[in-house]
A and B are shown apart, each in its own frame.
Chain A
Amino acid sequence: MKREAFSTQHSAVSFQLCSILAFSVFLVGCATSPQGRMVQTATAIDAIVMPAARVWADYVKAGFATPKQNAQAEKAYNAYCEAFSLAQQLTIALRAGRATATEADDASAALVKAAENVLAVVKVFLPAAKQANLKLSLTSEP
């Protein structure tokens, strides 16, 4: 399969990513408590990152990724998993009164940043126009 064919085949994924992101922004906006915001941010962000990571793995397996891209993706993915784990633990700490709303917001921001880093690396499987849309959506994240 050629790279262009792979991109066309997976253009539905980019639509899904943008749709889920828009919905996630809506949900995060609805949350009133720091814990609610935290859970919704982590859930919604993960619903974007993991499908993208799985398509990226297909892209690597098809032989389209360079060793440098693969190394960058691995580093970004590991950092994302670490940020997600911290966010989960902080959510529990927040519920138990062992963390502050500021700490929760900082962890949410760090998680969004880690997710952006993953998508910045792995989005090469998307057509150029879809890449621009994804970037635009991410920068509008509150």
Chain B
Amino acid sequence: MDPITQALVLFALNETPAVVNAAIKMVNAITAGEPAAAAIQAFLAVKHPTYQQLLDEAR
């Protein structure tokens, strides 16, 4: 298994479906030649909530 696949497997095991979907969208966008910076920001908006969002989602 190549390193990228290893990382993706580890990633998928530890993430929610929403984050995995966002990651797939990011990879597809970059592969399709869309601007990488925008694709990454869209992914990170799902992947990393703001600190306040973390507190709001706390149990």
Interface residues of A (CB under 8 A from B): 20, 23-24, 27, 30-33, 35-37, 39-40, 43-44, 46-47, 50-51, 53-54, 56-58, 60-61, 73-74, 77-78, 81, 84-85, 88-89, 92-93, 96
Classify chain B's interface size: 20 to 34
Q: Which of B3, B51, B55 contacts A39 (CB 8 A)?
A: B3
List, sorted by A's number, 14 A–B pairs whose CB atoms are closer than 8 Å. A23-B10, A27-B7, A36-B2, A36-B3, A36-B4, A37-B3, A40-B3, A40-B6, A43-B10, A47-B14, A61-B58, A73-B51, A74-B51, A96-B36
**CB-based nearest B residue for A37:** B3
- Cβ contacts B15-59/A at 8 Å (1 or 0 each): 000000000000000100000110011011001100100110111
How many residue pairs, one in A and one in B, have C-beta atoms under 8 Å apart? 76
Q: Which of A24, A27, A31, A88 contacts B40 (CB 8 A)?
A: A88
Judge whether B55 and A60 touch: CB under 8 Å: yes
Listed residue (B3, B14, B30, B58) with the most chain A CB atoms within 10 angstroms of its CB: B3
Judge whether B37 and A89 touch: CB under 8 Å: yes
Return B15 CB to nearest CB of chain A, in Å: 8
Judge whether B40 and A61 touch: CB under 8 Å: no
Judge whether A32 and B3 touch: CB under 8 Å: yes
Listed residue (A43, A50, A73, A89) with the most chain B CB atoms within 10 angstroms of its CB: A43
